[in-house]
Structure 1
Amino acid sequence: MRWGRAATAAAAAIAGALVALTVTGPAASAATTAEQLAGARYVALGDSFVSGYGLPPYAASPAPGCLQSSDSIAHRVASTYGLSLTDVSCTGATIANVTSTPQAVPGATVPAQLDAVTADTALVTVSIGGNDAGFSTVLASCAALGPSGPLLQDPASPSCAVKFGSQLAAAVDGLAPGLDAMLAAIHRKAPNAKVIVLGYPALAPTDAATPAGGCFSSALGTGQPPLPRNAFPFTDADRPLIASLSARLDAAQRASADRNGATFVSVLADSDAHTPCTGTTGPYLNGISLTSLQPPTLAEGAMHPNAAGASFLAARLQQAVGEAFPATGVQPGRAGTSDPPAPSPTVQPAAVDGPTTRLAESGSEITTLLITGGALAGIGALLVLTRRTRPLGRRSAAPAPK
């Protein structure tokens, strides 16, 4: 073999090793989170905002009366990562229904949601507190006739801010003990699990996201069918009340998560411009739609995530799960996995569309071996081929360099 062909072969070997680095690195980083989570046990807890109320078809589990969507947020997250899901979220659930109190739903009584959490659970997500904070009271009692009132159910009251304001704020501020006890109980039952608390999207916009003309739109219309769809029948005084209650609940959930070693995912700011407020484009929640006036009957899913909102929440939760399980090569929820190896300081996070993943420490070692071994093999081949270009059995007549 001549020198030119030998050099070409050696260069090809080295180039092959470099190509192995280019191909193997990104592929490994994109797959590692899903690989370590495949088959891991995931339990989803919560109320109607994560159960998918208003987004049929509904699942039979934990009970048909829970109105849990077959395509709930947890189902989407589980599908993304190949997790083994137990979703016990249920419409109408309170903190007590998560921790200890069975919940009565039409046609059944479902056990406390925490019963589904076991020692081998790798991931727990929970979104709860809205019913305890009185949001159902706001939605059921605060619809008004006009932007300055009065309330439909209480014409003597100009707004919910006057009638319920201090009561609702006190209810939110009193959630801390229940949230703390719930998160502590989750950790006791699943000490190796990652726990993620998902906040609520904005129900009403802040001042900054409110259109100049305000948010109010009538749920009654002319009083004759067809009735308006996705209205926002809350007064100019109640719109900031609802926004402030959402902010208080978001802060209470964050503080409890921080105190109890859980991850909190706030979606409030990113949904502020996507409420059912009149004039909003791309809302994440359904507005108020009445199906009849005699008796007044709300359409399913009022002031709850619509299809776009469910996709938004699922994407945020998927991202949080990816960040909670950076690539380590460790199978979560199994014995001996509570202390994963420290990551290599030379490995940087790899940003991808969707959940954030990181190159596994073991993956970086494999890649290093590929390039190092490939390069050495190429250089070795180059040296061997260089020697073989000389005639065998002879010494070179060229003088030694001085």
Structure 2
Amino acid sequence: MSRLSRVVASVAASALVLGGGVLGTTAAQAEDAAPSGNYVSFGDSIPSNPTVLDVVMAKVKGTHPELPIQVEAVDGCAHGGDNVGKRVAAKTGLTLSDYSCPGATAYTPPSPQDPIPHNMFSQQVDRALGDGALTPDTKLVSVVIGVNDTYQKSNLQRPQEERLDLYHKEVSAQIDRIREAAPNATVVMVGYPDETDGGNYTCATNLLGQTSHWYFPAVRYYQEELRTEQRAVAEEKGLPYLDMADEINIEKNNSGCLNIDPGQRLNAAIFDDSGLHNLAGHLTGPGNEYYAERISSFYQH
């Protein structure tokens, strides 16, 4: 055997040893370390976090599917490129199944007259079940729903007790469906940031280093009603509840109602020049990260 042949043979033998031993073990370890299963995100524009342009383009695409429009959407529901769901998936390593939808409601049926195409929580669960996204391999589910019901015309005419009852019955029923299909998943009920100054004023603007506080007690009234609804469902169903109004507010020095560095604001005022948010009055980039971190903390490896 020539010297060149002996070198080639030696290299080939080394490759076989590495392939069957060291490299093979590394691949197996990597496979064992990688989490299996998926994470399912349900809710409204808080988790979906699209831009206004995303919403418009998703509506146009839904009406004219033949147009070459590039927009990320599920059933006409636009999703932002770096929303809460994507961040949770990145943190946990789980596959994302995102059914969140801007304008989604808990129990108020959508109408053709609604300016923003949306669906109900029950329809999101229908789609997830139809897609096979809720299974015994599902590890984590988050639900952010209810704020869009509060200002629907038909809902405002109802007494508060009726609204509380409707929310409880409808959301509880969907939680039961989720758990039946995904018995091993941790289901987390997630609330909304405080949109007030801690009292009866809401923060309309945060511009050029100045904030304006407008007297609008209805915001606090419905915010507290929604927290009551969410907490009641979570307690009855034994779910963890992230009361975000208790975590994102003026007292915690992280609210859009404060004249603080934009990077510290976890939510935005209605008119806000921070440049870190996609929609008025919604989460900022740091706010999306905060939500993702809190939701991910319930993932059980």
User: TM-score normalised by the shorter chain: which range applies?
Assistant: 0.5 to 0.7
Change (3 A) 1:168 1:55: farther
Q: Contact 2:44–2:102 (CA<8 Å) still a contact in 1? A: yes
Deviation at residue 167 of structure 1 after TM alignment: 6.1
Q: In structure 2, what is the equivalent of residue 264 of structure 1?
A: 241
Deviation at residue 107 of structure 1 after TM alignment: 8.6
What is the letter of the counterpart of residue 267 of structure 2? L
Q: Contact 1:284–1:306 (CA<8 Å) still a contact in 2? A: yes
Q: In structure 2, what is the equivalent of residue 122 of structure 1?
A: 139
Q: Can you list the C-alpha shifts for 1:179-207, whole angstroms capped at 9, x where unaligned?
A: 21121121122222221111111111324
Q: In structure 2, what is the equivalent of residue 5 of structure 1?
A: none
Change (3 A) 1:107 1:313: closer
The unaligned stretches of length 5 or more in structure 1 are: 1-34, 138-163, 220-227, 291-298, 328-402
Instruction: Determine if the alignment matches structure 1 residue 40 to structure 2 residue 57.
Output: no
State the SS of the aligned residue for 1:235: strand
Give, in whole Å, the separation in 2 of the partners of 1:231 and 1:94.
33
Q: Contact 2:103–2:117 (CA<8 Å) still a contact in 1? A: no
What is the letter of the counterpart of residue 277 of structure 1? C
Give, in whole Å, the separation in 2 of the partners of 1:316 and 1:188.
25
Change (3 A) 1:107 1:57: closer
Change (3 A) 1:278 1:196: closer
Q: Contact 1:205–1:243 (CA<8 Å) still a contact in 2? A: no
Give, in whole Å, the separation in 2 of the partners of 1:276 and 1:263.
26
Deviation at residue 252 of structure 1 after TM alignment: 1.5
Q: In structure 2, what is the equivalent of residue 289 of structure 1?
A: 271
Give, in whole Å, the separation in 2 of the partners of 1:84 and 1:181.
25
> Is the radius of gyration larger for structure 1 or structure 2?
1
Deviates more, 1:84-93 or 1:268-277: 268-277
TM-score by length of 1: 0.49
Change (3 A) 1:74 1:283: same
Q: Give the structure, 1 or 2, with the largest relative contact order (CA under 8 Å, sep 6 or more).
A: 1
Give, in whole Å, the separation in 2 of the partners of 1:217 and 1:44.
29
Instruction: Determine if the alignment matches structure 1 residue 202 to structure 2 residue 194.
Output: yes
What is the letter of the counterpart of residue 196 of structure 2? A
Q: Can you list the C-alpha shifts for 1:96-152, whole angstroms capped at 9, x where unaligned?
A: 59xx98999979989921121422322211111111122x78xxxxxxxxxxxxxxx
Give, in whole Å, the separation in 1 of the partners of 2:245 and 2:119.
32
Give, in whole Å, the separation in 2 of the partners of 1:304 and 1:69.
13
Find the partner of 1:248 among 198, 212, 225.
225
How well do the aligned residues superpose, as a CA RMSD in angstroms?
Answer: 4.1
What is the letter of the counterpart of residue 90 of structure 1? C
Instruction: Determine if the alignment matches structure 1 residue 95 to structure 2 residue 106.
Output: yes
Q: Contact 1:230–1:289 (CA<8 Å) still a contact in 2? A: no
Instruction: Determine if the alignment matches structure 1 residue 306 to structure 2 residue 297.
Output: no
State the SS of the aligned residue for 2:73: coil
Give, in whole Å, the separation in 1 of the partners of 2:91 and 2:174.
27
State the SS of the aligned residue for 1:122: strand
Change (3 A) 1:79 1:56: farther
The unaligned stretches of length 5 or more in structure 2 are: 1-31, 56-70
State the SS of the aligned residue for 2:188: strand
Equivalent residues, number: 237
